[in-house]
Structure 1
Amino acid sequence: MKFTKMHGCGNDYVYVNCFEEKVEDPSETAIKVSDRHFGIGSDGLILIKPSKTADFEMEMYNADGSEGSMCGNGIRCVAKYVYDFGLTDQKNIRVATKSGIKDLELTVEGEKVSQVRVNMGEPVFEAEKIPVLSETNQVIGEPVTVEGREYYMTCISMGNPHAVVPLKELENLKIEETGPKFEKMESFPDRVNTEFVKVLDRHTIQMRVWERGSGETYACGTGACAAAVAAITNHWVEDSPVKVKLLGGDLEIFWDHAENTVYMTGPATIVYSGEINL
Structure 2
Amino acid sequence: MPLSFYKYQGTGNDFVMIDNRKLNFPAEDEQMIKHLCDRRTGIGADGLILLQDHDDYDFEMVYFNADGRLGSMCGNGARCTVRFAKQLGVIEDVAYFLAADGEHQATIEREEIQLKMGDVAGVERIGQDFYLNTGSPHYVRFVDNVRDLDVYAEGRAVRYNDRFVAKGTNVNFVERLSEDTIYVRTYERGVEDETLSCGTGVTACALVAGMRGMESPVRVKTPGGNLQVSFEQHGDGFRYVYLTGPARLVFTGTVPLPEKV
TM-score above 0.5: yes
Q: Structure 1 residues 204-213 or 21-30, which shifts more?
A: 21-30
C-alpha separation in 2, matches of 1:185 and 1:139: 17
Q: Matched residue of 1:178: which SS?
A: helix
Match of 2:199 among 208, 221, 232: 221
CA shift at 1:52, angstroms? 2.3
Partner of 1:139: 124
Q: Is 1:160 matched with 2:136?
A: yes
Superposition deviation, residue 33 in structure 1: 1.0
* The one of 228, 236, 250 aligned to 1:271: 250
Task: State the secondary structure of the residue aligned to 1:57.
Answer: strand
Match of 2:217? 241
Task: Indicate whether 1:174 and 2:150 are aligned.
Answer: yes
- Find the counterpart in structure 1 of residue 88 from structure 2: 85
**One-letter identity of the residue aligned with 1:65:** G
1:192 to 148, 169, 179: 169
Distance in 2 (alpha carbons) for counterparts of 1:107 and 1:31: 33
Could you tell me whether the CA contact under 8 Å between 2:15 and 2:49 is conserved in 1? yes
Among 105, 114, 120, the residue aligned to 1:103: 105
Q: Per-residue deviation at 1:66?
A: 1.9
User: 1:202 Cα shift?
Assistant: 1.0
Q: Which residue of 1 aligns with 2:18?
A: 16
Separation (CA, whole Å) in 2 of partners of 1:232 and 1:22? 44
2:159 maps to 1:183: yes
Q: Which runs of 4+ in 1 moved over 3 A?
A: none
Per the alignment, residue 5 of structure 1 pairs with 7
Q: Deviations over 1:33-83 (max 9, x none)?
A: 111111111101100011123110000111111211111000101111111
Unpaired segments ≥5 residues, structure 2: none
Q: In 2, Cα distance between the equivalents of 1:56 and 1:27? A: 23
Amino acid at match of 1:264: L
C-alpha distance in 2, partners of 1:124/1:186?
A: 24
C-alpha distance in 1 between matches for 2:77 and 2:183: 20
Using the alignment, how far apart are the partners of 1:169 and 1:267 within structure 2?
26
Identity of aligned residues (%): 33
Shift of 1:177: 1.2
- Alpha-carbon distance between aligned partners in 1 of 2:145 and 2:29, rounded to the nearest angstrom: 38
**CA distance, structure 2, for counterparts of residue 66 and residue 40 of structure 1:** 17
What amino acid is aligned across from residue 249 of structure 1 in structure 2? G
Does structure 2 retain, via aligned residues, the 8 Å contact 1:3–1:275? Answer: yes
SS at match of 1:276: strand
The RMSD of aligned alpha carbons is: 1.5
Q: Give yes or no for contact 1:123–1:226 (8 Å, CA) kept in 2.
A: no
Query: AA paired with 2:114?
Result: R
Q: CA deviation at 1:6?
A: 0.3
CA contact (8 A) 2:47 2:63 kept: yes
Answer yes or no: is the 8 Å Cα contact 1:184–1:191 preserved in 2.
Answer: yes
Paired residue type of 2:17: Y
Question: Which residue number in structure 1 is paired with residue 240 of structure 2?
Answer: 261
Post-superposition Cα deviations, 1:215-245, rounded to whole Å, max 9, x if no partner, equal 211111111110000011122x2x1000010
Q: Secondary structure at the match of 1:186?
A: coil
Deviation of 1:21 after TM superposition, in Å, equals 6.0
Contact between 2:23 and 2:52, CA under 8 Å: does it hold in 1? no
Extract unaligned runs of 5+ from structure 1. 109-113, 126-137, 144-151
Question: Structure 2 length normalisation: TM-score?
Answer: 0.91
1:26 and 1:61 in contact (8 A); partners too = no
2: CA distance between counterparts of 1:240 and 1:268?
A: 22
**What's 2:121 paired with?**
124
Counterpart-to-counterpart distance in 1, 2:29 and 2:4: 14
Letter of the 2:240 counterpart: T
Q: Is the Cα contact below 8 Å between 1:123 and 1:261 reproduced in 2?
A: no
